[in-house]
Structure 1
């Protein structure tokens, strides 16, 4: 495939700005979707400072990846798999969650820097990766349901659900008809047009207070830390295994598309920077980052494979982080709109998992189908456990046994490498 600009080419100022805006349009929705969900969970309800710190973190990690990490045109965003870990560990408190992010990030960086990461890769066969990708989407279903029925206390849940259903149908139809950069930036347009439609139907959404500053750095950059329970830490370490696979797949997909050289070094540096970025996320109290696998589609649509095209996008993210007013407006997106766009992104992830399984013939026999099906069903059932049942488990093991993603991943690893190991061809 021919590209207008190669990995290390530097486009002219005008082209650089245009390509940077396109990457920005891809980056912002992911940060808003995941960031707003976690920000709403904060004990003090501080959505604006949280999103400011998250935008700043993503900007810094993106620049680090461009110049010292994998050095590939890869967009960065909050890791959805860590959202699952956070949701399942809320009882442990955010101080313990933050510490778990620091520990997991440093371990990941250490494994990558020392070359030991390659030994973990053997655990993640195509079947396991397929389950991980699909399981992330399935176990986020309760969160998506809560979002699309959230009327903010003023709109009946039935109305928001019907709105979300119609909006989702339009969004998936648009995905089928749009091409090129319009399709790559569909999530951004969905957020804008969905918010306008929501306001037209149900009235204005809460806007940032009138005294919100136009320019100001976020306060409280250092977050509280506490020694996590064994269950919380173990749950996050499982999530970090999945994050590592996601990061590896994203780097390799772009590297393969561009026929990049020294891919072994690029992978080690890229995963190491991702690990350090997650450690920094824990120190600042935000969700950790990961390289996104949607980058090849953007590169193919724009014809620009230059890593430097992401620099303007990273700078713009940093500038947004310095404006509480801009972040406040971005954070005013209604819950049902966020929920539908998150469902759209997760549907794309399910499709990616199914494609990966098909390409690698991951489930050609009945036993191989069970290896995929049992963890997906079990993980989904656990994800929908009523809160009263989850609360009945001892606090030490609750983050493990009440976490659908962790249960599913452990199950697929046991089925793949222990139970059905002899029957695989």
Structure 2
């Protein structure tokens, strides 16, 4: 694939702002989706301060990754696998959960500092990378489905879904018909105009309280800590194994897509910074971050591979963090609009995975197709597991067995390096 800007190239100021808005348009929904769920666990009135802290952490960590970490164009946000651990550990209390996040972050940083992550990197062959690129889109399908059927006072679930289908068709048609500036900002305009149309069709959203401040510092930056019991800590350590797989896969997949040099150093630094971010998350009492593998979809959509395009996005996240009113307004973006924009980005990511699979020769044989197809199907099935089936799993294994992304990655690694090792060989 060819790109208008390389990893270390700086676009012109105008284009830099445009690309930054594109990354911001992707980052905000990513943060809001997990943040909304986690903020709902907070005491009454604490949801907006929680989201402020979450946006602030994402802004700071994004800048650190761009300049000192992996130095790649990768968006980051709350790790959904940690959200699973948080939801399953509510009985332990927030202080024990925060301490578990801190400990997990320390261990993740230690793995990166010792260079052990380099051994893990060898597992990510072209076929595994194709699965990483595509699996996140498939395993996000339940989240997207929940968003596009999220009705309200003025819309039933059916009406919201029909709106989402029509809006998605318009969004994909716009991407196919537009060029240049307008094509690269389809996601941004989708959020804006989609919200306007949704409100026009189904009525306004709930008004913010009159005393919501325009600018204010995030409150309660220091969260309580307590020694977690062994069961809770074990559950979170399993979550961090999944997070490490996700983080490594995200960095490696983007690096391979862009043919980046010095990947050993990039991976070690990137995972190390992610670990540090999780330590800070534990201290602040928010979900720990992870590098998201949806980034190739954004790169493919914009045609820009410059890491510096994420700096304006980080500035935007920082400004949002200091504005309770802005966060309150973004919470009011209709779920179907967010869901369709995410579906748009996921579709471009699937396309990027298919292109990479073709260029690398990963899908030239029937066995190669099975190595990719089986994990995608299995991961998708796990992502749609009913709540009662998830509840029946052992609590300590739930963060792994109920996570479609983790199950899919473990499956593709087993197929690639054990089951089909001698038969598939190489990339094809």
- TM-score relative to the length of structure 1: 0.85
Aligned match of 2:204: 204
The match for 1:235 is: 239
Aligned to 1:324: 324
Q: Distance in 2 between matches of 1:210 and 1:326?
A: 13
What's the counterpart of residue 221 of structure 2? Answer: 221
Aligned-pair CA distance for 1:319: 2.3
1:245 match? 249
Residue 99 of structure 1 and its aligned partner are, at CA, apart by 5.0
- Choose 380-389 or 98-107, whichever is displaced more: 98-107
Distance in 1, matches of 2:103 and 2:32, equals 24
Q: Quick one: distance in 1 between partners of 2:302 and 2:187?
A: 17
Secondary structure of 1:385's aligned partner: coil
Total equivalences in the alignment: 410
Paired position in structure 2 for 1:121: 121
Find the aligned partners of 2:224 and 2:215 in 1 and give their Cα distance. Answer: 25
Deviations 1:289-336 (A, max 9, x none): 4274467558855xx9584x6555433432221111122112210111
Counterpart check, 1:25 vs 2:21: yes
Q: Measure the CA separation in 2 of the matches of 1:129 and 1:144.
A: 23
Summarize deviations over 1:217-276 as a string: whole Å, max 9, x none.
Answer: 1112234554535344313312321221212333565574xxx7x665445334432332
**Structure 1 residues 353-362 or 209-218, which shifts more?**
353-362
Shift of 1:135: 1.8
Asked if the contact 1:86/1:97 (under 8 Å) is kept, the reply is no
Question: After alignment, is 284-293 or 122-131 more displaced?
Answer: 284-293
Quote the residue 1:290 is aligned against.
291
Instruction: Please state if 1:194 is matched with 2:191.
Output: no
Over 3 Å counting, the alpha-carbon distance change for 1:104 and 1:187 in structure 2 is: farther
| SS in structure 2 at match of 1:78 | strand
Correspondence for 2:30: 34
SS of the equivalent of 1:41 reads: helix
Please say which of residues 411-420 and 280-289 is displaced more in the overlay: 280-289
Tell whether the 8 Å contact from 1:35 to 1:287 is kept in structure 2 after alignment: no
Deviation at 1:409, TM superposition (A): 1.7
Cα pair distance change 1:273/1:190, threshold 3 Å: same
User: How far off its partner does 1:134 sit?
Assistant: 1.8
Distance in 1 between the 2:278 and 2:149 partners?
31
Superposed, 1:283-362 pairs within 5 Å as 283-284=283-284, 285-290=286-291, 292-293=295-296, 296=299, 307=308, 311-362=311-362
Give, in angstroms, the shift of residue 181 of structure 1: 3.5
TM-superposition CA deviations, 1:53-94 (whole Å, max 9, x none): 22212221233234433456x353316xx2255247622238
The answer as to whether partners of 2:190 and 2:341 remain within 8 angstroms in 1 is yes
Which range moved further: 339-348 or 309-318?
309-318
Q: Higher mean Cα deviation, 358-367 or 160-169?
A: 358-367
Check the 8 A contact 2:20/2:311 in 1, yes or no. no
What is the rounded CA distance, in whole Å, between the counterparts of 2:298 and 2:118 in structure 1? 23
Give the Cα–Cα distance (whole angstroms) in 1 for the partners of residues 363 and 423 of structure 2.
12
In the alignment, is the contact (CA less than 8 A) between 1:108 and 1:275 conserved in 2? yes
Q: CA RMSD in A?
A: 3.1
- Name the CA distance, whole Å, in 2 between partners of 1:321 and 1:386: 35
How far the C-alpha of 1:148 sits from its partner, in A, is: 0.7
Instruction: Provide the secondary structure at the position in 1 that maps to 2:161.
Output: helix
The answer as to whether partners of 1:33 and 1:338 remain within 8 angstroms in 2 is yes
Cα shift at 1:200: 0.4
SS of residue paired to 2:239: helix
Residues 135 and 405 in structure 2, CA contact (< 8 A), matched pair in contact too: yes
| Contact 2:29 2:338 survives alignment (8 Å) | yes
CA contact (8 A) 2:277 2:288 kept: no
Q: Distance in 2 between matches of 1:75 and 1:419?
A: 32
Aligned mates of 1:364, 1:3 — CA distance in 2 = 29
Shift of 1:31: 2.6
Q: CA deviation at 1:170?
A: 0.8
| Alignment-derived partner of residue 417 in structure 1 | 417
Structure 2 CA distance, aligned partners of 1:21 and 1:221?
30
| Contact 2:357–2:363 (Cα < 8 Å) also in 1 | yes
Q: Residue 83 of structure 1: which of 72, 80, 83 is its match?
A: 80
1:59 pairs with 2:59: yes
Q: Residues 90 and 77 (structure 1 numbering): CA distance in 2 closer, same or farther, change over 3 Å? A: same
Is 1:183 the equivalent of 2:183? yes
SS of residue matched to 2:361:
coil
Unaligned ranges ≥5, structure 2: none
